Amino acid sequence: MSNTQNNKPLIEVKNLKKYFDINTGMFRTRALKAVDDVSFDIMKGETLGLVGESGCGKTTVGRTLLHLYKPTSGEIIYDGKPIKTKADVNVCRKKATLVFQDPYSSLNPRMTVSDIIAEPLDIHKMYNTKEERRERVLELMARVGLNSEHASRYAHEFSGGQRQRIGIARSLAINPDFIVCDEPVSALDVSIQAQVINMFGELQEQLGLTYLFIAHDLLVVRHISNRIAVMYLGKMVELTDADTIYNRPLHPYSKALMSAVPMPDPNIARANQRIPLTGDIPSPLNAPSGCPFRTRCAHACERCSEETPAFREIEKGHFVACHRVEELN
């Protein structure tokens, strides 16, 4: 939505892997490759959208970037500085934060709005006096359009949209540079969704925030993002600016995904030539050899099952992981 302030990356991710150990029976564990070798940058002041089917690893990417999960391997560079030690992580925690999907379950019903918003301030000891704390809370509430009278009320007394505002105010408490928004509007009714989406845009303009924006609704992601990354089964398959991914996707999976979006316009919807995808997404415990998409790809050839396609820059700023991308497009 807003323009990127400059072309310097705030976050650089290099060959990031996050595997989970899964018990698969007696004394046996196997690695579930939730995120398997992804590399990308997020520019200062930009919104990077992250899309892909359920279980493809979006949340895991977001949480690993915030060091809520320890990476299995790979490098995360924050504002030019590699995050390696515990001290690095702690510095990062004061700059980067998360907005959750579900405003209903992520707020403690027994805490007042004021205490919920002030919790990060308490944790990071970001005030000297009670008065300072109170002022900061009221300032944050005003930022997200909450009435100051609401400060002493409980979260369960609020509507979904208002609860999401409370959650966002809390995330803003530490003055972050970077926010991972994990399905922040999915639980909201469309009319409320629009209010919250606008607020994300306004906050970004006012505070120069950088977002990783994860959502199922591709039109919402398209609306809010500068660039969009598409994931499939733990891998990134395409990354480019938002317009291009919509108008000219290059990876066979992105093409199918974009063509599956139901457009809220009868003429466009009726004329849409859908690229059908058969079958279900494979389990990350049994990921196919070679290209992760090959079991559902209409263009798969022998090489696709033998060799994992590299995530290559096909044209300037347009990354695709497909062996056949040139001949197919």
Binding site for other proteins (CB under 8 A): 1, 53-54, 159, 189-195, 197-198, 201, 216, 218-220, 222-223, 242-243, 256-257, 260-266, 268-270, 272, 274, 276-278, 280-281
232 part of the interface to ligand SF4, by CB under 6 A: no
Beta strands of the chain (E only): which ranges?
9-23, 29-43, 47-51, 73-78, 81-82, 96-99, 178-182, 210-214, 227-232, 235-241, 312-315, 318-320
Between residues 174 and 194, which has the closer beta carbon with respect to other proteins?
194
Q: Are 18 and 64 in contact (CB under 8 A)?
A: yes
CA-nearest of 212, 165, 220, 166 to 190 is 220
322 part of the interface to ligand SF4, by CB under 6 A: yes
Residue 7 interface partner, choices Mg ion, ligand SF4, other proteins, none, CB cut-off 5-8 Å depending on type? none
Residue 60 interface partner, choices ligand ATP, ligand SF4, other proteins, none, CB cut-off 5-8 Å depending on type? ligand ATP
Between residues 114 and 164, which has the closer beta carbon with respect to ligand ATP?
164
Residue 57 interface partner, choices Mg ion, ligand SF4, ligand ATP, none, CB cut-off 5-8 Å depending on type? ligand ATP
Q: Per-residue b/e over 105-125, b at no fewer than 16 CB within 10 Å?
A: ebbeeeebbbbbbbebbeeee
Query: How many residues are there in the chain?
Result: 329
* Helices 160-172/130-143 angle, 10° precision: 130
Between residues 59 and 254, which has the closer beta carbon with respect to Mg ion?
59
From residue 211, alpha-carbon distances to 12, 167, 207 in Å are: 14, 15, 12
64 part of the interface to Mg ion, by CB under 5 A: no
153 part of the interface to ligand SF4, by CB under 6 A: no
44 part of the interface to ligand SF4, by CB under 6 A: no
Between residues 191 and 267, which has the closer beta carbon with respect to ligand ATP?
191
